[in-house]
Amino acid sequence: MAARLLDGAGLARTMRADLQPHVQEFTARVGRPPGLALVLVGDDPASHVYVGSKRTHGTEVGFRVDLHQRPATTSLEEVLDLVRSLNADPAIDGILVQSPLPAAMGSDAARRVFETIDPAKDVDGFTAENVGRLVQNREGLVACTPAGIIEMMEREGLTIAGTRAVVIGRSDIVGKPMALLLLHRHATVTIAHSKTPDLPAVCREADILVAAIGRAGFVTADFVKPGAVVIDVGMNRVTDEADVVRFFGEGSKRHLAWQQRGSVLMGDVHPRVEAVAGALTPVPGGVGPLTIAMLMKNTLTAALRRAG
């Protein structure tokens, strides 16, 4: 039996609709809408798409959304000065600096930016204070992708407490906060990575398997316990026709899409996993839309806290 597909795009639409009356209530009470500042530096095409989507959805729910776009030649100090000015702006409740930053800024640029953002406005949940609050299971702003996954699992009635969970990937943005959120909901959690011996065997123990490594089709059916919940966080652009045919088959919908566009999107999970898993997030249309919906939720949360 094919896995139940978890409709992240549909849930994201529902979440945005649920936020709108609360945004309207906030605006009427405070005399201004919640404010979200988006900072985009450089010319990365994917970043422009992501920021455009965040701007559109934020405006739709009723936020004031300010886009601060800077060229790739902008210095790190100029970005930090911009962040400091947004920290001091009373009309801005949330600040998001889109990653990646230009390589010329240095390898520690993102860390320095996150250290500069006011934790009360850190709607990405990346500052040390908000990460520390998550570790201690205290109230704070939580990284959007892991928070969106938990929101989906809870709304879909999927059991977390008492399960074994494996998270493949140890990034600060997804892997580590995902593991903590599952742990706080009483799962027994393993973080697996490139140095984990016999990775497929470790993953086969999981009732919940989260793949967040950025490698197209890496998680095959051999990794998956029959009936497991599989969360695919990957978003990989496949441009080689041989890979498209290998993953999806000659003449498939994805192959035809590749012939039209020259690329297709797929996750970290191989398509054949659908035949083994009990539930699965598709790519696209699974985790990605939830990330933006949780950004909207975090922005409203930050605005409400700041307004008392």
* Rounded Cα gap, residues 42 and 74, in angstroms: 8
The catalytically annotated residue of 54, 121, 176, 225 is 54
* Rounded Cα gap, residues 169 and 192, in angstroms: 6
259 classed as catalytic: no
Q: Alpha helices of 62-127 — where are they, by DSSP H?
A: 76-88, 109-116
The catalytically annotated residue of 124, 207, 232, 268 is 124
Q: Which two tokens stand for residue 278?
A: 């009990």
Q: Which two tokens stand for residue 294?
A: 């949780």
* Rounded Cα gap, residues 164 and 206, in angstroms: 5
124 classed as catalytic: yes
69 classed as catalytic: no
DSSP labels, 260-286: HHS-EEE-SB-GGGGGT-SEE--TTTS
The catalytically annotated residue of 98, 122, 207, 297 is 98
Strand partners, 97: 39
Cβ–Cβ under 8 Å, residues 123 and 145: no
* Rounded Cα gap, residues 98 and 49, in angstroms: 11
Please identify every residue annotated as catalytic. 54, 98, 124
